């Protein structure tokens, strides 16, 4: 599997038909999920209508973390096997992942205001998501500033991996610090305990976000491959071969 898709040509072949599937099913499921979340599902007893923010917020936070984990995994594969496609995947995941992190932070604040009476609380979870955003920014900045493509990919992979190892430590310390400073005043509604009417839109939205993340990443990877091809000056014989393909 890992070596099979090290060939960009083979990957492009797969991505050509996988990308539209991701894109259209993301659109469909997000539309269905949003309709369920915003109109069809009932308001929650304790939180009232503000519970609808959850359907946008919780999947965003999940996707943000899933995207970073995928970056770290892809970076490991790229670092150990110098796998070109893993490298593209890591790079293409960064912008959607960072965007989901921002979305999670913004919707979290908007939800916090009516529920806790404050936009921001130095709660362990919120603080570590904010730190995750800065880790994303650092990761993307490495890609930006290092001009040489291969060197950038090695350095970015190292950055992603050391960030990944540190995330549990950061999360633990922030939680420890938080409980020391302020007794726990907040409890989020725990998602597994949700009623089925609330769980259905949440599950749909989570699936939709995942597909959207997949679509954005695939698009990013295809664009990277295309621009790498455009940058390369092909020898005449090679051009003929690419056209034949």
Q: Which residues bind another protein (CB under 8 A)?
A: 131, 134-135, 137-138, 141-142, 145-146, 148-151, 154-155, 158-159, 161-163, 165-166, 169-170, 172-174, 176-177, 180
CB atoms closer than 10 angstroms to residue 93: 29
**Complex with another protein: residue 113 or 150, whichever CB lies closer:** 150
Burial (CB count within 10 angstroms: exposed 0-12, middle 13-18, buried 19+), residue 100:
buried
Q: Which of 181/233 has CB closer to another protein?
A: 181
Name the residue with tokens 């995941």: 93
Q: What is the DSSP code (8-state) at residue 5?
A: G
Q: Is 79 or 215 the residue whose CB approaches another protein more closely?
A: 79
Residue in the structure block whose two tokens are 């998602």: 191
**Distances 172 to 17, 60, 162, 169 between C-alpha atoms, Å:** 42, 22, 16, 5
Give the angle 34-119-213 at the CA atoms, nearest 5°.
35
- The nearest distance, CB 227 to another protein, in angstroms, is 18
- Residues belonging to the chain: 245
Smallest gap from residue 142 Cβ to another protein (A): 7
Q: What totals of helices (H) and strands (E) does the chain contain, helices first?
A: 7, 0
Decide whether 18 or 161 has the Cβ nearer to another protein: 161
Minimum gap (Å) between residue 151 Cβ and another protein: 5
In whole angstroms, the minimum distance from the beta carbon of 116 to another protein comes to 23
The least distance separating another protein from the CB of residue 146, rounded to whole angstroms, comes to 7
Q: Of 24 and 122, which CB lies nearer to another protein in the complex structure?
A: 122
Nearest residue (CB) to another protein, 166 versus 227 = 166
Cβ atoms of 100 and 63 closer than 8 Å: yes
Residue 169, Cα to own-chain centre: how many angstroms? 21
Cα 32 to Cα 35, 54, 201, distances in angstroms:
5, 16, 8
From the CB of 156, what's the least distance to another protein, in Å?
Answer: 9
């Amino acid at each position: 599997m890992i070596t099979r898709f090290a060939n960009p040509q083979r990957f492009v072949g797969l991505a050509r038909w996988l990308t539209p599937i991701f894109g259209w099913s993301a659109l469909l499921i997000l539309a269905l999920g949003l309709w369920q979340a915003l109109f069809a599902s009932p308001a929650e007893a304790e939180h009232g209508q503000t519970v609808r923010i959850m359907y946008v917020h919780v999947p965003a936070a999940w996707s943000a973390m899933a995207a970073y984990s995928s970056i770290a995994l892809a970076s490991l594969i790229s670092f150990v096997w110098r796998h070109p496609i893993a490298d593209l995947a890591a790079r293409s995941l960064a912008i959607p992942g960072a965007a989901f992190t921002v979305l999670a932070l913004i919707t979290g604040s908007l939800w916090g205001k009516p529920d806790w009476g404050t936009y921001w609380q130095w709660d362990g979870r919120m603080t570590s998501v904010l730190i995750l955003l800065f880790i994303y920014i650092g990761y993307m900045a490495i890609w930006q500033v290092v001009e040489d493509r291969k060197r950038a990919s090695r350095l970015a992979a190292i950055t992603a991996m050391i960030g990944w190892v540190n995330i549990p430590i950061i999360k633990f310390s922030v939680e420890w610090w938080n409980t020391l400073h302020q007794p726990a005043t907040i409890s989020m509604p725990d998602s597994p305990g949700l009623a089925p009417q609330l769980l259905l839109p949440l599950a749909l939205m989570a699936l939709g976000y995942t597909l959207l993340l997949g679509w954005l990443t695939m698009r990013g990877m295809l664009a990277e491959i295309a621009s790498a091809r455009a940058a390369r000056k092909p020898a005449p014989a090679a051009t003929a071969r690419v056209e034949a393909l």
